[in-house]
């Protein structure tokens, strides 16, 4: 993988193991790489301060098993303090970095057999504050759809419609191919390269058909990609984020609060509130591996909660 050209072989082997054997997505493997690169830059700078270099200029291509074996639990917690104080990583970002480091050391210990002891076994993951998902109300969702306008109306409306109706992840929406669409279904490639089928309601079918009528076909670089940018390539993450932000602002909503992922939350919340979706059905639609991840949508504010409170005998 050319992207990891500055990584030592021991890290490249780990990344290849995650990609080929564990079948992790490319995005996940990239996150492992970035997290490990930050960790070893910190470690090298701690053990041998390099004041003449910016942190981002510290090379890790010379990291070897001797350095790795010297790592203690103190080094690990020192790193956690560094990314908290110096790099202002929140608990969620720190938890992800802990997960990356734990996966790397587990591989070295259990798969590669390069270390006898795994110091990360004692490393605790930062506690995450459980928060309710941010989502649009039904009225706000309808206003957002009405606000979509501009030269790419059909494409942008199709994107927003799929987010709000199907609860797709950003990466899933970008990865849709025309050949994945079969009548009223779309084959989605989710996290961990796991496939699932998403059903299309009437609004989705209309939006897709309207877009396909005007979708560019000449000189398109990825002819099977559903969503195409103006430069005739598969649309990018950044472009979709820009599109969503633009139309959220046009609808008079706070663009700092809502993102493609928040539209996914909105789809799940509306399905739970208005479509009487069973929690396990919702889990399947969203592609959640763990039911606990889906349970958060059972705690959102809804009419039933309000009605129950208002009917309290002491009310």
- As annotated, the active-site residues are 169, 191, 261, 264, 288, 297
Give 152-187 as a DSSP string: THHHHHHHHHHHHHH---HHHHHT-BGGGEETTEEE
CA–CA separation, 201 and 280 (whole Å): 19
Q: Is 301 helix (H, G, I), strand (E, B) or coil?
A: coil
CA–CA separation, 32 and 102 (whole Å): 10
Distances (CA, A) of 72 to 68, 76, 202, 211: 9, 7, 58, 56
Q: Is 127 helix (H, G, I), strand (E, B) or coil?
A: coil
Please, what is the end-to-end C-alpha distance for the chain in angstroms?
64
Please list, in sequence order, all residues whose beta carbon lies within 8 angstroms of the beta carbon of residue 306, skipping any fewer than 6 positions away.
none
* 105 and 115 Cβ atoms separated by less than 8 Å: yes
- Report the half-sphere exposure of 97 (CA within 13 A, side-chain side): 24
């Amino acid at each position: 993988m050319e992207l990891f050209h500055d990584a030592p072989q021991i890290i490249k082997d780990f990344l290849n193991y995650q990609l080929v054997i564990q079948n992790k997505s490319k995005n996940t493997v990239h996150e492992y790489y970035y997290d490990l690169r930050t960790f070893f830059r910190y470690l090298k700078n701690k053990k041998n301060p390099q004041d003449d270099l910016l942190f981002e200029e510290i090379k890790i291509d010379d990291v070897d098993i001797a350095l790795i074996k010297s790592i203690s639990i103190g080094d690990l917690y020192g790193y956690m303090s560094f990314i908290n104080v110096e790099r202002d990583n929140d608990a969620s970002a720190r938890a992800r970095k802990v997960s990356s480091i734990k996966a790397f050391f587990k591989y070295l210990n259990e798969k590669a057999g390069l270390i006898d002891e795994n110091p990360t076994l004692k490393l605790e993951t930062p506690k995450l504050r459980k928060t309710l998902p941010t989502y649009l109300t039904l009225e706000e969702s309808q206003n957002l759809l009405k606000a979509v306008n501009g030269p790419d109306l059909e494409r942008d409306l199709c994107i927003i419609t799929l987010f709000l109706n199907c609860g797709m992840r950003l990466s899933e929406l970008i990865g849709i191919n025309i050949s994945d669409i079969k009548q009223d279904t779309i084959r989605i490639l989710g996290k961990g390269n796991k496939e699932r089928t998403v059903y299309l309601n009437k609004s989705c079918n209309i939006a897709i058909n309207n877009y396909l009528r005007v979708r560019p076909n000449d000189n398109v670089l990825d002819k099977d990609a559903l969503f195409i940018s103006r430069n005739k390539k598969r649309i990018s993450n950044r472009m979709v984020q820009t599109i969503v932000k633009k139309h959220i602002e046009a609808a008079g909503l706070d663009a700092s609060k809502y993102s493609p992922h928040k539209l996914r939350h909105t789809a799940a919340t509306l399905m739970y509130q208005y479509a009487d979706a069973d929690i396990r059905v919702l889990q399947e639609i969203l592609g959640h591996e763990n039911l606990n991840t889906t349970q958060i949508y059972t705690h959102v504010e809804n009419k039933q909660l309000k009605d129950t409170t208002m009917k309290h005998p002491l009310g």
